[in-house]
Amino acid sequence: MTVPVFDSALTRIPRLGFGTWPMKGVECQAAVESAIGLGYRHIDTAEMYGNEEPVGAALNACGVPRSELYLTTKVWWDKPDGASFRRAFDACLKRLGQDYVDLLLVHWPSPQLDLPSVLQAQAAIRDAGLAKAVGVANFPLGLLKRAVEAEIVPIAALQVEHHVYLDQQRLLDYVTPRRIVLTSYTPVAKGVVLEDEVIQGIARKHGATPAQVALAYLLSKPGVAAIPKAQSPARQQENLDAANLRLDAEDQKALAALPKGNRMVSPGFAPDWAA
Ligand SMILES: NC(=O)c1ccc[n+]([C@@H]2O[C@H](COP(=O)([O-])OP(=O)(O)OC[C@H]3O[C@@H](n4cnc5c(N)ncnc54)[C@H](OP(=O)(O)O)[C@@H]3O)[C@@H](O)[C@H]2O)c1
């Protein structure tokens, strides 16, 4: 299975990746090794997941050259300034046991975020070759625009919740023409799609599964990547095979008609999403 790649001037990211939260320890390492063995080449982790060590160990043990793998990590929002962000990133690299990551994201915007200084830290990390590209996660449109327009470091990626029930059209309208990849987290809506009769109907029609329909919906949008998490090799394979599913106009119409304002991840420290 060859996963399609989004290739901008800033990054070359496999559009179907593997989410690792909330797996930990040996279970996490085994899942990542299994995913890479099946053909995943893009692995998503974060400082906050507490699994950078097993993720890095899996990368080191899997037998696939590092240059063929795409690794994302994220620094947690309690590092709102450049100096603390840099210290946290250095610790990420150490735990990962890697010389570099492919993508380094600000995990969430803090209310105390000193955006220019964090962007400057990301620029220094990128200039040193320790992160090939940088970006942000969970930024609402206004803050994303500020990050891009600051022109301190080029923003390669935006990672946000995005699935059949949350279409993120405002963000897509901004990032797509700028060739900023939008990486979709919670792409199978934490499994809710499995019970959805509309999605089940589309899946039956194609001899596919509801999770595959949900992922194919995301992959049908230009410049969009998705990072489903699945523990078992069978589900990992099922999700990977979604890259082969092509939805037709009738499917797209039915999916477009599903309610689109259902956000599943909005912790107390989340920003004002409309900002
Ligand atoms: N940047 C952020 O703030 C942020 C926030 C949330 C998530 N993320 C990233 O995005 C990744 C994915 O998001 P997520 O884990 O919240 O949601 P998700 O991938 O939409 O859903 C994961 C859940 O769906 C189940 N599942 C996956 N594939 C399935 C399939 N084919 N059939 C049936 N069930 C299936 C999984 O079960 P099993 O594992 O038991 O198979 C798991 O319970 C995370 O792992 C993380 O890397 C980032």
In a domain, 178, yes or no: yes
Domain membership of residue 206 (yes or no) is: no
pLDDT tens by residue, 15-61: 999 999 999 999 999 999 999 999 999 999 999 999 999 999 999 99
Write the residue with the smallest CA distance to atom 11 of ligand 1.
19
Residue closest by Cα to atom 17 of ligand 1 = 186
**Looking at residue 72, which CATH number applies to its domain?**
3.20.20.100
pTM of the model: 0.98
Please answer whether residues 59 and 90 qualify as being in contact, where contact means their C-beta atoms are separated by less than 8 angstroms: no
Q: Residues 146-157: pLDDT tens digits?
A: 999 999 999 999
Query: Which protein residues touch ligand 1 with a CB less than 6 Å away?
Result: 19-21, 44, 107, 137-138, 159, 185-191, 194, 211, 227-232, 235, 238-239, 265
How are beta strands 5-7 and 12-14 bridged, if at all?
Answer: antiparallel
Query: Does residue 70 have an active-site annotation?
Result: no
Residue 111, in any domain of the structure: yes
Kindly give the residue spans of alpha helices, DSSP state H, lying in the chain.
Answer: 25-38, 52-61, 82-96, 115-127, 141-149, 169-178, 197-206, 210-219, 233-240, 249-256
Cis peptide before 80 (omega within 30 of 0): no
Two tokens, residue 103: 């993508």
Residue 272 lies in a domain: no
Q: Please tell me the distance between residue 19's alpha carbon and the centre of ligand 1 in angstroms.
A: 6
- For the chain, how many structural domains are there in total? 1
Which of 49, 70, 165, 217 is the catalytic position?
A: 49
Q: What is d(CA 109, CA 118) in angstroms, rounded to the nearest whole number?
A: 10
More reliable by pLDDT, 1 or 4: 4
Of all protein residues, the one whose alpha carbon is nearest to atom 15 of ligand 1 is 229
Range of the domain at 158: 11-188+223-231
Is position 198 within any domain?
Answer: no
